[in-house]
Amino acid sequence: MRNHNVMDDGLSRQAAITIRAHQLLSTVCIAGGAQCPLLEREKAEEILDQVKGDPTLTIRLESNADEIPHYTTLGPQYYSQLDRQEVFNRKRDLDVLQRLGLVPGSVRRARYLYELLFERIPTPDGICAYDTPGWEGCRLARSGAYESIRAQGWQAVVYSRSEEEMQQYRQRNVAQIDSSQQLHIRPHHLMCLCCWYAGGQGDSPRPNDTLDEIHHRICQDPDVPITLVEGTCQACDCCDGFHPQTGRCVHPGGLIRDYKKDLDVLQKLGLMPGDTMKARELFDLLFQRVPSTRDICGYGNGVVTAEAWSICGGSPDGDPRYELTRESGIF
């Protein structure tokens, strides 16, 4: 039975936007002023308006490359009437997907996708155009339109929180942490706090969360109850990857891997979402059951299987800062 309290816009649900993979580049070129022939301007502007207003929107990238049948079913007429532009577009699709480390049908949230796009594809030249006779492609691929938007960063395309708003949320969040009778924290953030603390070396506010303020609160009151929650928590509200309108995390370094970390920590502790323990007892249990970040952040084997499953801090064998805090204690 489906819980009606959960959100229905998950990555495995129907995507809000569906486009061919190569058209993701087209949206950027059109944002840069080019009259891209591969995507209608009206559709591109609609997509750009949507992602500028909501970074949680899911985008599905499609390709028809795997729809081509066995050659015996095509016959000479197919090749005599071959749509050369469509052949080019199939290659564009697969070039884009290969660079992004994705496959046809992949669904990602808008911020993740455009941030990855700008990281992996600096120019459409070599994807949308070539010097090969018959494969010249789009004459606008070398116009600089795409590059002009990429130089501004993903914020030029996708919704980005203002510094003023994030500071307002930080102030509100800190007041809540100081006054709340109990704290609500996602399980893997307990480990983030330990890595930051590093056995006593870390003692200053962090720009993207309020874990420092939570640490000060539990030091003042080691018996304050902590309720473990899945998803965004009391430390997240001031993050640039927090979307206030939905409460979702859209940070490219977070996303689904952090949901797995939450569940992995809960499993190691033998607890469930909603379980509550005193701070001192909870950290004692954490240090007893989780000796290294390798067990959680490194997935137990330190192997990175994909970009979305990268290892926090790049420490596949475990972050020594966590081990320092485990030795020293958090209080």
Tokens matching residue 178 = 């100081």
Give pLDDT, residue 1.
47
| DSSP single-letter state for residue 6 | S
Listed residue (219, 209, 249) closest to 231, CA to CA: 249
Q: Which tens digit of pLDDT belongs to each residue from 130-184? A: 999 989 999 999 999 999 999 999 999 999 999 999 999 999 999 999 999 999 9
Domain boundaries, the chain: 17-156, 163-328
3-state secondary structure of 188: helix
3-state secondary structure of 72: helix
Listed residue (271, 261, 22, 196) closest to 124, CA to CA: 22
3-state secondary structure of 85: helix
Q: Which tens digit of pLDDT belongs to each residue from 55-102? A: 999 999 999 999 888 888 888 888 888 888 999 999 999 999 999 999
More confident residue, 79 or 238: 238
Classify residue 253 by burial, with Cβ atoms within 10 Å: 0-12, 13-18, 19+: middle
Give pLDDT, residue 254.
57
Give pLDDT, residue 275.
98
Provide the β-strand partners of residue 301. none
Give pLDDT, residue 129.
94
Q: Report the chain's mean pLDDT, rounded to a whole number.
A: 93
Pairwise CA distance, residues 58 & 250, whole Å: 11
Give pLDDT, residue 79.
80
Is there a contact between 330 and 283 (Cβ–Cβ < 8 Å)? yes
Q: Which tens digit of pLDDT belongs to each residue from 38-49? A: 999 999 999 999
Give pLDDT, residue 2.
53
Is there a contact between 173 and 237 (Cβ–Cβ < 8 Å)? yes
Asked if pLDDT for residue 23 goes beyond 70, the answer is yes
Pairwise CA distance, residues 36 & 89, whole Å: 13
- 76-to-73, 80, 82 alpha-carbon distances in Å: 10, 6, 10
Q: Is the dihedral of CA 118, 242, 209, 273 positive or negative?
A: negative
Tokens matching residue 199 = 């056995």
- 215-to-66, 102, 262 alpha-carbon distances in Å: 52, 39, 19
Pairwise CA distance, residues 84 & 197, whole Å: 59
